[in-house]
Chain A
């Protein structure tokens, strides 16, 4: 009992900080979501709106489109990153000369701040000035992320894959390194080929790692803002206005605090549900592995 109390005492500073930077803002946002509050409204201050902001969200085509766009972005980036991550992790497990150097190089994007990544990609892809459109034009491809919606969307997907695949690779590398050797040895004795070992032993054993990485990446991809903001500003048109950017525009430039807060709460709700599903899956798979 005494050791538990000591543990709580040690945790108190962290808990207090979490309360102030996590719980307090959350309750504040929840509270504001029930009001109409726009700085430039004729009536100054907040006026009670009840659940009206939430009701409007259901019919808000811009909000729903941003949510859908963000979901598509998440599905594309995370699935490609997962496949590439597993392939690269397997490659990096091989004993090849210079592999350590490649591992270090490959992890570099992770060390760069997202806003800097967005800026670097913007410089590379800026229509009329960047090297990417310049060389693509040489081979007859008109690349302009300021004008063509699909090109901008897929450029943000590629940028995210470039940025985050190393994270997944490193996670899988750690997972692969910690796998027990005996199941693999038994499989080899039984005559299993490489593909069978990969499919029936490696992947099932890696399931907790896969689910954890999947969970982290989905959360990150859903709330992406800074890289995309720097690269395209959410455009052209609304092509890359993912939900984070949409909420930012509603809350800050538009100063519609009440409605923007309601949006944030709904997105948080979706995220929590998704997280809960994934955490349940992770716990389930851990139990299975333990058996």
Chain B
């Protein structure tokens, strides 16, 4: 009996070890997967004439194929899911299973899929800030090569030159494209025009602060307005606070600090010196600089004038708070501007939304205009095809469908996003511009003052390192100064571990 037991234990251990090391060796090689051909159940006979549009003809070999994609739950993605995917299926006969989920879950799923090479997704959402990591890890199909090799799949009116300069973020050093943008917007300030233009409020504000109430230009002005409206709300028994703050214990708070608050204070690229990969001021970085500390302290102080939900708010909740009329002003992602300003089913501030630049510290605008800095975040994303996609041809068709010029006006109306230069002159956008207080004009004319995330392949890892400290500034476990000192030091150490700098 003992012998049998011993044999079973030895057998189990052997199986475990063999299985474990087999798993290590099972990591998929992208090139091998790339070679796979799409699964097409039944291609039409050559003689059979395929009727219909170019789309129907191009999609004919892939009819009834199901492509699966994933994206973040944002207004543009929901529009793709609810409108564009349906019309694509009707036109082409290709089925689209489009998963729209939370930001965290989306990355968790798509990165695992692409790293292991499972091939679950045929197209994936690539946010501008993660593209550098994806390129570094060779997760994505080279669309330029793919289109050259499959000209029959390229729509005549794709017009790559019509994309705004945002598409450059999705290119490699050789100019090859790895994702076609479908959304791009600015992180702007929204304010309540009805409150800002109220005579009684204007008089009260001027009486208290000595200057005419208008959207803030500096951090100090922003703070004064926030304080004023919080007190106004209290005194008038209103559910009104002075500002939104995206301060959940979630990476979203990191993004608000490092992409919305620090750049207007003159701290760019997260305060990391990209020549020696150091974040500390002593080594040429700026993460723990006085300017960064002042900006973070200012942002933390805004929590006193923000609705109670601010410390549980990510980007979605911030937009919802503003739409619910709970804040007089706030930093809001531009993709939400259209629905907040026009959709009466979801927003109580329809018709009362003003759009403004974020407040800045002295000298930052001049630096941005000179191309030496930027005043805020130019956000957005593209759709790309993973190397492990099982149906890259059908996915390529769908991505082009989403980017069709003639769809861009309605798409911009639904998601306040623009990726094509021609869209700015679309009649729908021009009409919408008036309803959203000139947001689209601002986007067109001042977009160059904003910038996307720095080209860091280590984006997610360093974000996690920094955010562990900055969230402690929110609760007061650390001061702003202590948090940034610790974050800069930890960033230096982690970057060395990742192979950047010494």
Contact = CB atoms under 8 A, between A and B. Distances in A.
Interface size range on B against A:
35 or more
A233 to B, nearest CB: 5
B461 A238 contact: no
Contact of B137 (A15, A24, A39, A62): A39
Contacts of A129: 309
A250 B494 CA distance: 13
A82 interface: no
B475 A40 contact: no
A48 B20 CA distance: 17
What is the interface of chain A mostly: helix, strand, loop, or mixed?
Answer: loop
A31 B4 CA distance: 28
B308 interface: yes
B44 to A, nearest CB: 42
A237 B475 contact: yes
Nearest to B498: A41
Given A28-B20, A146-B310, A147-B303, A254 B461 contact: yes
B475 A249 contact: no
Interface in A1-59: 1, 4-5, 8, 15, 19-20, 23-24, 27-28, 31, 36, 38-44
Helix, strand, loop or mixed for chain B's interface? helix
B496 to A, nearest CB: 10
A183 interface: no
A276 interface: no
Contacts of A15: 8, 12
Interface stretch (B195-203, B345-353, B466-474): B466-474
Nearest to A238: B472
Contact of B309 (A42, A127, A250): A127
A99 B249 CA distance: 43
Contact of B457 (A36, A40, A133, A252): A40
Contacts of A253: 104, 107, 251, 460, 463-464
A127 B461 contact: no
Nearest to B251: A253
User: Which of B249, B326, B471 has the most chain A CB within a 10 Å cutoff?
Assistant: B249
A270 interface: no
Contacts of A40: 133, 136-137, 457-461, 498
Interface in B66-114: 104, 107-108, 111
A20 B20 CA distance: 9
Contact of A237 (B16, B111, B249): B249
A252 B308 contact: no
B2 to A, nearest CB: 11
A249 B108 CA distance: 11
Interface in A227-250: 232-239, 249-250
Given A15-B8, A19-B16, A133 B308 contact: yes
Interface string B1-27: 100100010001101110111011000
A237 B472 contact: yes
B18 to A, nearest CB: 9
Interface residues of A, number: 47
Interface in B362-410: none
A144 interface: yes
B115 interface: yes
A15 B247 CA distance: 48
B502 to A, nearest CB: 12
Nearest to B138: A44
A126 interface: yes
B4 A8 contact: yes
B477 interface: yes
A27 B16 contact: yes
B499 interface: yes
Interface of B: 1, 4, 8, 12-13, 15-17, 19-21, 23-24, 104, 107-108, 111, 115, 133, 136-137, 247-251, 303, 307-312, 326, 457-461, 463-465, 468, 471-472, 474-475, 477, 497-500
25 contacts: A8-B8, A19-B12, A23-B13, A27-B20, A28-B23, A36-B497, A39-B115, A40-B133, A40-B458, A40-B461, A42-B458, A42-B500, A127-B308, A127-B311, A129-B309, A146-B312, A236-B475, A238-B471, A238-B472, A250-B464, A253-B460, A254-B460, A254-B461, A254-B464, A255-B460
Closest 5 CB pairs of A and B: A235-B249, A42-B499, A146-B311, A128-B308, A237-B475
